[in-house]
Amino acid sequence: MANLSRRKFLSRVSMTAAASVLLPTVGYSASKLFTQHTNPGSFVIAPTAHGKIKGLRVDGVNCFKGVAYGGTVSGDRRFRRPAPIEAWTGVKDALELGAPTMQPPRRGEPAPAEDCLFLNVWTPANDHKKRPVMVYTHGGGYVNGSGGAAGQDGANLARNFDVVVVETNHRLGLLGFLYLDEIAGEDYTGSGNMGVLDITAALKWVHENIAEFGGDPDNVMIFGESGGGGKTSCLYAMPETAPYFNKASIESGPGVRMLTKDLAAETTERVLKELNITKQNWRKLLDVTPNQLLEIQNKFTFIPPFQENINMPEMIGFGPVVDGVTLPNHPFDPTAPDISKDKPLITGWNEDEYAFFIMTRGEGDLTKISFDDLPAKLEPEFGKDTATIIETYRRSMPDASAPQILMAVKSITLMGLGSVEIAEKKANQKGAPVYLYNFGYKSDMKIPGTDYPMGTPHAMDISFKFNNEVPPKEGDKPFWSLAGNNPDKYIASHKMAELWTNFAKTGVPSAKEVPEWPAYNFKTRPTMRIDTKCEVINDRFSKELDMWRSINKLKTL
């Protein structure tokens, strides 16, 4: 596969940059689900390995917020493993969100801070019942987001499906992924992967403590969307993480390949140059203020959750690193990771991913292009293959307009091809099953400033799988959603949440009034299309995928 040009690459990462900035709050108003309660609740106390914490029970769910799962990661712990948690006496409040990592301020959350290792827990009861545990990793690329974003509030999943939900804040960007292994010595081994090692530390906390929250430490699912899907892809391939989870879901963020050591080292060199620090004096990095580091971080491009090519010279920025130790190999290149061969997996994408990026980039004019315009819109990314791509899609979608073909092409290349590649490589392993999906519920909204349907944009699945698309209760404050206002969204949300929670419980995604979801295989190549009415579609997009394979945009086995 030929390397992307600088212009092509920047066009692509700029979309991820938009997502990283807007994903955490895009679907929701300041009236956050965290505070939408019909009663003031009552306090509940829970023991942990380091001391007792006080949460709040509201509407049948115990919620503990801002729980420390690691010690400081500032000072001499910057770029290193966190300090141990210090035990406490008495009862510590777990009633407010913890600080997210360094990033622009987040609506309704504490000020971002370097010390950010906090998690939130939702459980039906602290009763030692051994419920399945669902540990979610937020989106926002590798530079933005938190476990406190409204659309991923875990109360409805816990209440309606009898599971325990956990979400983390963890280091991101320069603080989470600056590769210092080659210049800083043994104490900094894994520095390029601190962001995902933080999540591993949270999973260890879950293993040691979740029984006190009614969860089963031996039945843990990890899942994540967009950048969270990329991070989940890494966790699925990391030896240190392996003991702490049993199944996974990678959603609209197929992390097939990650940064190589050479590319990560080049990013480090550029950071040092920006700060006028030599490699020999790298320790001066510890004296730079967090805000200065954030300013430096913002000068770099954003790394998408996927990489088409393992040798992309323009891929300079912050994201997980194949360092040969903490992340021994690319998550799904050349094969699915042996270390998770026996762990079931879900992977898939939304049908109209690209609508989100048209919206966030203010490119509504793309919804009005003609077929004469279409080649010029695709050539910067696809070059000499553009004519083949357009011809294939015009044959497979004979009634489609030029904007519809643009949407289909951009959506499948953003998140679809990597998802198919993961499914095929996992299925080829002949171990635990893998399940491929397309989320297809159609919003009744238009892309702002246009008459073009929003469809099923990137990120809209978050509130659906968390069952947060539900009829409002009396006294609840309404919130704006990408899904629009059609009440049939409640049906699709319940079905998606039920599929995910049953997968957490059994390793097989299932739901009432949903057909049996077959594991992906090379005979029928089944995909579950998730909507108000779910259906299994065999060999979906077969002509298009054959074409993508033929031009080497989808790796064949």
Do the Cβ atoms of 52 and 161 come closer than 8 Å? no
Residue 339 per-residue DSSP state: G
Residue with tokens 């409204």: 150
CA distance linking residue 173 with residue 171, whole number of Å: 7
Instruction: Please identify which of the residues 20, 146, 191, 226 carries the catalytic annotation.
Output: 226
Residue type, 268: T
Q: Which of 372, 528, 532, 358 is nearest to 452 (CA)?
A: 358
Residue 414 per-residue DSSP state: I
Residue 415 per-residue DSSP state: I
CA distance linking residue 496 with residue 228, whole number of Å: 18
Q: What is the dihedral of CA 267, 15, 176, 462, to 10 degrees?
A: -160
Q: Which of 55, 58, 56, 53 is nearest to 69 (CA)?
A: 53
Which two tokens mark 58?
């509201």
Helix (H, G, I), strand (E, B) or coil at 255: coil
Q: In 10 A of CB 37, how many CB atoms?
A: 17
Do the Cβ atoms of 102 and 290 come closer than 8 Å? yes
Instruction: Please identify which of the residues 353, 421, 424, 469 carries the catalytic annotation.
Output: 353
Do the Cβ atoms of 260 and 233 come closer than 8 Å? no
Which two tokens mark 134?
């669902």
Report residue 121: phi and psi, to 5°. -130, 135
Q: Counting beta carbons within 10 angstroms of the beta carbon of residue 384, is it exposed (0 to 12), middle (13 to 18) or buried (19 or more)?
A: exposed
| 214 conformational bin, left if phi > 0, alpha if psi -120 to 50, beta if neither | left
Instruction: Please identify which of the residues 458, 493, 494, 498 carries the catalytic annotation.
Output: 458
| β-pairing verdict for 453-455 and 443-446 | antiparallel
Residue 213 per-residue DSSP state: G
Element spanning 181, H or E: helix 181-184
* Three-state secondary structure readout of 353-379: CHHHHHHHHCCHHHHHCCCCCHHHHHH
Element spanning 438, H or E: strand 434-439
Which two tokens mark 450?
């246009």
CA distance linking residue 464 with residue 410, whole number of Å: 23
CA distance linking residue 260 with residue 266, whole number of Å: 10
Q: How far is CA 157 from the centre of its chain?
A: 18
Angle ∠(323,329,332) on CA atoms, nearest 5: 140
Active site residue 74: no
Active site residue 458: yes
Residue 95 per-residue DSSP state: B
Q: Which of 21, 12, 293, 26 is nearest to 144 (CA)?
A: 21
Catalytic site positions? 226, 353, 458
